[in-house]
Chains A and B, each alone.
Chain A
Amino acid sequence: MEREQNQKLISLVPLLLFAVLAASVLTVLLSGTKIYAKVTRENSSSALKRTSVQYVYTRIMQAEDKGSVRIENFGGTPAVVIDTKADGESFTLRFYCHGGCLCELFTYDENEVAPEDGEMILKMQSMEAEITDGLLRVTFTHESGEKETLFADLTPAAYDGISVTADSEKGEHE
């Protein structure tokens, strides 16, 4: 009788071990999925922030004359406008939010254009812009509702070499 019971217990051990194995597999898989989702979400959010702010900022910094950066009401939506000249011709670059996207539109000065003519850069809920005392402030509201603000100094001193901002050489992270 006792031997029979022992036999039953011994045959249960592999089953028990298998259950432990199954539970472990499930736990590792679930935690892996959770971590992967979190990493992807964070990377995506960071990339969105970087792209929107960095893209517009770089374009502004590339402008030959910071005084040519202005804001206008473009078809009912606020737009950051950069006027440039190349080979005697005038061009206008606009950044604005239209149809749930941040758009860029590069045109000849005289061309008549509408917001829907722009090139979509990335998805964006809305964009607000203002220039006060030579300081441009652009607030992007992402699809998630998260806000990101871009500041750019438009005073000539920031452009003509008197003022320097260096980030790559002394920038450090530990």
Chain B
Amino acid sequence: MKNKAILPLAEITVMLLVFALAAAITLGAFSKSSRISEENRDRDNSVLLARSVAEVLKSTRGDLKLTGEILTRGTEDDGTAKSDTASRPIFTAGDDSLVLYYGENTSPTVPERAEYTVFVRVAKLDGYSEAEITVEKSGRAIFTLPAAWSDTDCSPLAELGKADARSVKGGELE
């Protein structure tokens, strides 16, 4: 009688041990895949953010305040509460540096809610300017993008653009 009870007990104990081992390995793999996916998402977002900043910087010829204003324009439409951004600045522009804050959905936001922080450092050189755009998350640099542009404004299109500035929204020319 005693032997009969011990046999299933031993069977199940062995099953449990094998399962525990398999579960530990599987959960480790799940956790790793989740972490990798999150890292990939952060890197994708960082690359897109850094490139946007670089394009606007080139367009404004390194005017950091204007760059900040262009990049954060329409923030209220992107989900950040108007009351949050109305009274507090959502970017900090210095003489040679700019700091921008972005939320999880890569919309500009207030520093307290920021998931990503973009640091821009600009250096004026002989006839051209260089910038280093670094995207950080929780104090850790995720992506760095160098950019450079000519300081001489040889862009008739910029002037043309001012005269011909127009936008299409919802199918209507504005």
Q: Which residues of A contact B (CB under 8 A)?
A: 7, 10-11, 13-14, 17-18, 20-21, 24-25, 28, 31-32, 35-36, 38-39, 42-43, 45-46, 49-50, 53, 57, 66-67, 71-73, 76-79, 126, 128-135, 137, 139, 146-158, 162-167, 170-174
A165 touches B54 (CB 8 A): yes
Report B33-54 CB contacts with A as 1/0, cut-off 8 Å. Answer: 1100111110111111011101
B52 & A134 in contact (Cβ 8 Å cutoff): no
Q: A128-B169, A150-B52 are in contact. Are A28 and B23 (CB under 8 A)?
A: yes
| Number of A-B residue pairs at CB separation under 8 A | 208
The minimal Cβ–Cβ distance linking B51 to chain A, given in whole angstroms, is 7
Asked if residues A132 and B48 are in contact (CB atoms below 8 Å), the reply is no
Whether the pair B144, A156 counts as a contact (CB closer than 8 A) is no
Complex formed: what's the CA distance from A33 to B42 in Å? 22
Decide if A14 touches B30 in the complex (CB within 8 Å): no
Q: Which of A13, A43, A157 contacts B150 (CB 8 A)?
A: A157
Q: A7-B5, A171-B144 are in contact. Are A163 and B165 (CB under 8 A)?
A: no
B58 within 8 A of A: yes
Tell me if A76 and B171 are in contact (CB < 8 A).
yes
In the assembled complex, the Cα of A35 lies from the Cα of B149 at a distance in Å of 44
Enumerate 28 A-B pairs (CB-CB under 8 Å) in ascending A order. Answer: A7-B1, A10-B2, A18-B12, A32-B27, A35-B34, A39-B37, A46-B41, A50-B48, A66-B157, A73-B173, A128-B167, A130-B167, A131-B165, A131-B167, A134-B157, A135-B161, A151-B55, A151-B71, A152-B55, A154-B59, A155-B59, A155-B158, A157-B150, A158-B149, A163-B150, A167-B145, A170-B144, A170-B146
Interface 1/0s, chain B 75-88, versus A by CB < 8 A?
Answer: 00111000000000
Closest approach, in angstroms, between the C-beta of B83 and any C-beta of chain A?
20
Contact A17 B13 (CB under 8 A): yes
Q: Beyond the given A18-B12, A32-B27, A135-B161, please list 10 additional residue pairs across the A-B interface where CB-CB is below 8 A.
A: A42-B40, A46-B40, A50-B48, A53-B48, A72-B168, A128-B169, A129-B168, A133-B158, A163-B150, A165-B54
Is A174 in contact with B166, judged by CB distance below 8 angstroms?
A: no
Asked if B150 contacts A28 (CB within 8 A), the reply is: no
